[in-house]
Amino acid sequence: MPFDSPPPVEQVIVTAARLPPAAAEAAFSAVHLSERDLATTQRVDEAISRTPGVSLFRRTSSLSANPTTQGISLRAIAPSGAGRTLVTLDGVPLNDPFGGWVIWSQLAPESLSGVDIVRGAGAGPYGAGALTGVIGLKERDAGIAGDVSVGELGSRRASAAAVSTLGRFEVFGAAFYDKSDGYVPVRGDARGAADARTGLEAKSISGRIDMATGLGLLSLRGGFFEEERGAGLVGARANASGNVLSATLVRAPRGQALGWRLQAWRRTSDLFNSSVAVAADRSFTTPANSQDKTPATGWGLNGALRQKIGGVEWELGADARLNDGEERERYGYSGGTYTRDRVAGGKTSVVGAYADGSWTTGPWLVAGGLRLDHWETTDGFRVERNALTGAVLVDRRPADRDGEVVSGRLGVTREIAGDAVVRLAGYTGFRPASLNELYRPFRVGNDVTEANAALEPERLEGLEAGVSRKGAKGLIEATAFWNRIEDPIVNVTLGAGPATFPIGGFIPAGGVLRQRQNAGTIDAVGLEGRADRKVGAVTLSSALSVTDARVDGGSTAPQLTGKRPAQAPIWSATAGLSAELTDRLTLATDLTWEGKRFEDDLNSRVLDPAYRLDARLNWRVRPLVTAYVAGDNLLDANIQTSRTADGVAGYAAPRVVRVGLRLAI
């Protein structure tokens, strides 16, 4: 008896595996960046940071920032090297499993189709880490994009991403390479022989296969990245590398049919980071420590069910994230060698479940969600040895800790006359300490910051009210908000050198000792707004963020009460202009301005207000090919990014002019 022939396979056009945006998202403060917004920048974090209220830890982007300072936060409440914002790529967290920061070299703008920035604590499907919001990156699911450029400071860049359909499969691939000789952060008479360039070499590659199955759309993805960079001081360098694997199975809801998502992922990372002590006259450096390896692994699962019946949409889900890592370090340099070894690390985990939903009726939208999360910090250790004799000097095994956190959100919007929308929202969220904050001390120049294995999770509560109006020729919106962070993790100053401390050891002259601590509360009130207007062939855009954040150090750190969090400006603003000069020639400019910041928790090191003008002139050579010339920091402004205890300032990159070609299909 002959076998039955297999049934015909339905030809299905597939896209990247993700559930469609939930109706509930419209009740909260969100900004969308399109593929066009991303196309004018070299780095994803540069594009995101043009949104007022989005704070990189320092004013430098990932073109020159140390990997450990590439954290990102929203609303300038309290920027942090670990970051207080959850960053995802189609649902997979990009935050480093050891430090919480995001190594932006793992993705190029050309590989993305858009970015959704949701401001305010994440409850609902977001969970732990989304303390000040969520940045959701969407990987390209159609077309081809490529870019090659060369420029000043020895910059060379090449990036390409493409999607192709091969029978039942849709295949995505992306590759990225970026190299720069860098610049010397310290300028003028303060510069010495100790100061060096912040050179960079970064590369990444990723691929994805999507396939329609009887159960839904299956997506398998893998990626690898590595970056090598100088830290601006002789003998100080950093190398970060990692890879990620993920599998996602999605069935989008259709009509009243149930939709769902099931996702698993695994991420590994490693970090080499060497630090030096700087002579008082900056004439030389001395090795201070060598963080030789920081192997870490993060893995997770998440799943969700979603259905829409009439005006009601609901989602039930659960997720788990686990991190395991350690740092291996040599320090105590003396007599031409390191005299001590340190190994420290542990495990963290968060497991949670949530219910989220919305109800739409007439001009009203009511949305809300509730989460329950269980967090754990386990198997912590810190062992220090005499490198010459092998004798154990320190052996600390902090007790395991755990707890539960309930968080939620509620938002209401109403459409009013003239296409305007008003909304109110409230939310809570939390962020557990990273392995880096719990166990890894670090050094920058002569400043030393100690870890703290007793850190509790940060918690945030907030309220906001907003109004927006979108028409054919433009958009205008404004949001007022209040946020409070309980038990914020901040670097608290314990004393200044030259002195020897029970923790941290000897601190040289010109340096200070700090420790990560849960210090009281941070209250922030603010206003953020933006407006876009199209006038003929010209599009004008502007945005403003005003955030007054203040610390109440309580009994733990009373010296911080009334101070502003480090690296948190009150004022930031942007203004942009894009114009179609001819059918083939376009001009785009972006001006950003920011008020003063403080380098330290005591507000004693002031970073002056700063502005930056970027411009780009595009010439369409062919329908799909554009030649361009771009200027970053076109007016060569002095943008202060750091300041030492003895007053030496570090600066962002000077003017850099680039020329390049871009392909877009």
User: Is the confidence at residue 329, as pLDDT, over 70?
Assistant: yes
- Percentage, residues of the chain above pLDDT 90: 72
Q: What mean pLDDT do residues 165-192 have? A: 94
Q: Is 315 exposed, middle or buried (0-12, 13-18, 19+ CB in 10 A)?
A: buried
User: Is the confidence at residue 144, as pLDDT, over 50?
Assistant: yes
Predicted pLDDT of residue 255: 87
> Per the CATH hierarchy, to which homologous superfamily does domain 23-664 belong?
TonB-dependent receptor, beta-barrel domain (2.40.170.20)
Start-to-end CA span in the chain (Å): 51
Enter the pTM of the model.
0.92
User: Is the confidence at residue 14, as pLDDT, over 80?
Assistant: no
Q: What mean pLDDT do residues 92-106 have? A: 93
435: helix, strand or coil: helix
* Cross-strand bridge partners of residue 534: 539
User: Is the confidence at residue 2, as pLDDT, over 60?
Assistant: no
User: Is the confidence at residue 12, as pLDDT, over 70?
Assistant: no
Q: For residues 665 and 663, give the distance between their C-alpha atoms in angstroms, rounded to a whole number.
A: 7
Q: What mean pLDDT do residues 634-645 have? A: 92
Q: What mean pLDDT do residues 289-295 have? A: 94
User: Is the confidence at residue 608, as pLDDT, over 70?
Assistant: yes
- In total, the chain counts a number of residues equal to 665
Q: Is 617 exposed, middle or buried (0-12, 13-18, 19+ CB in 10 A)?
A: middle
Predicted pLDDT of residue 3: 34
User: Is the confidence at residue 83, as pLDDT, over 90?
Assistant: no
User: Is the confidence at residue 520, as pLDDT, over 80?
Assistant: yes
Predicted pLDDT of residue 400: 97
- What b/e string do you get for 357-369 counting C-beta neighbours within 10 Å, with b at 16 or more? bbbbeeeebbbbb
Q: What mean pLDDT do residues 101-112 have? A: 93
Q: For residues 399 and 382, give the distance between their C-alpha atoms in angstroms, rounded to a whole number.
A: 12
Predicted pLDDT of residue 123: 63
The answer to whether the CB of 436 falls within 8 A of the CB of 99 is yes
User: Is the confidence at residue 6, as pLDDT, over 50?
Assistant: no
Q: Is 280 exposed, middle or buried (0-12, 13-18, 19+ CB in 10 A)?
A: exposed
The answer to whether the CB of 90 falls within 8 A of the CB of 137 is yes
Give per-residue pLDDT as tens, 405-421: 999 999 999 999 778 99
Alpha carbon 304 to its chain's center:
25
The answer to whether the CB of 173 falls within 8 A of the CB of 200 is no
Greatest alpha-carbon span in the chain: 92
Q: What mean pLDDT do residues 165-184 have? A: 95
Domains of the chain: which residue ranges?
23-664
Q: What mean pLDDT do residues 231-242 have? A: 94
Q: What mean pLDDT do residues 587-602 have? A: 92
Average pLDDT of the chain?
Answer: 91
User: Is the confidence at residue 176, as pLDDT, over 70?
Assistant: yes
Q: How confident is the model at residue 5 (pLDDT cuts 50, 70, 90)?
A: very low
CA distance readout (Å), 647 to 176, 378, 447, 511: 38, 41, 13, 11
Predicted pLDDT of residue 13: 39
Q: What mean pLDDT do residues 503-525 have? A: 87
Q: What mean pLDDT do residues 492-503 have? A: 84
